[in-house]
Structure formats: structure tokens, C-alpha cells
Amino acid sequence: MSGDSCLPQHHTLSHSTSSAPLLACPKTKTCSYRGAVGLGNKYVRINVGGTLFYTTLQVLTRLDSMLKAMFSGKKEVFIDKDGWILIDRNGKHFGSILCFLRDGTVSLPKGRQAVQELLAEAKYYLAQGLVELCENSLQ
């Protein structure tokens, strides 16, 4: 997913239950995207900046966030050739994002810098409750 133009071509996944077409990058053949992830797939594999996570659609769509929009078909989803959903962010705090989505709370990291980093990720993912938790901790 470089600066090269990726004009989509329609393909379908044989193992997917989604009716949304899979669109492959004709230049690189390494990534693809589609508008929605098949809701028949209970578990989701996510690659966030090279760090790999397994979670469920239920967790990803539990609270209003960018992830809910991604996994309910409102935002495009990029998928690599091995079926991992790609998110072009640093994966350092993504586990905390998932914990917050799962439990509605999370243990904040130690140190102001780490909380500020988590706050930036919470803002990116539009996890408002986590944004508030981090901001309150920084006051």
C-alpha cells in the first residue's frame, strides 16, 4: 500500500461468507480490501503495524469506534494475501484498545508518555471512553 495508485479489481473469497466483493490491488497483488468483513467469521486476524492480534467481531463491534465502523462495513478494510486485516498503525497499544472494547475499562500504562501514546491511539480509533480515561489520568 504505497503511494502507487491501487485501482480495485473485483474478486470474491472462497472461504468468506460475506457478499461484499474482495478488491485486489492490481499493481502489487499483495493487499486487498472490501467494504465489510464476513459476519459469519467469528474470529478476526488483525495485523497492526506488524503486531498480530486475534479477536472476535463481537469485541470489535461492541462499542462505537472506528473499529466498529470498519467491521460493520462502513469503512473499507484492507486484507493481505494471507487473510490478515491490515491496520497501518503502531501495534504497541492496540492490545489496550482491544481490552477497553472488551471490558469497558483498561489498566493504563505507567508513565505519562505511555498514557499520551495510548491517548493518541484512542483518539485515532475513536474510542471515546478510553480517550476520557486517558485524559482524566493526565490531569
- What are the domain boundaries of the chain? 9-138
Q: What is d(CA 25, CA 31) in angstroms, rounded to the nearest whole number?
A: 6
pLDDT recorded at residue 77: 87
For 95, the grid coordinates are: 492490545
Number of H helices, E strands in the chain: 5, 7
pLDDT recorded at residue 18: 38
pLDDT recorded at residue 120: 98
Residue ranges, the chain, pLDDT below 70? 1-41
pLDDT recorded at residue 29: 43
pLDDT recorded at residue 139: 94
* Long-range own/partner contacts, residues 15-22 (CB < 8 A, 24 or more apart): 16/40, 16/41, 17/41, 20/73, 22/79
Q: Cβ neighbours of residue 91 under 8 Å, at least 6 residues apart?
A: 48, 49, 50, 51, 53
Q: How many residues does the chain have?
A: 139
Phi, psi dihedral angles at 53 (to 5 degrees): -135, 145
10 Å Cβ neighbour count for 114? Answer: 15
Is 9-138 assigned to CATH 3.40.50.261?
Answer: no
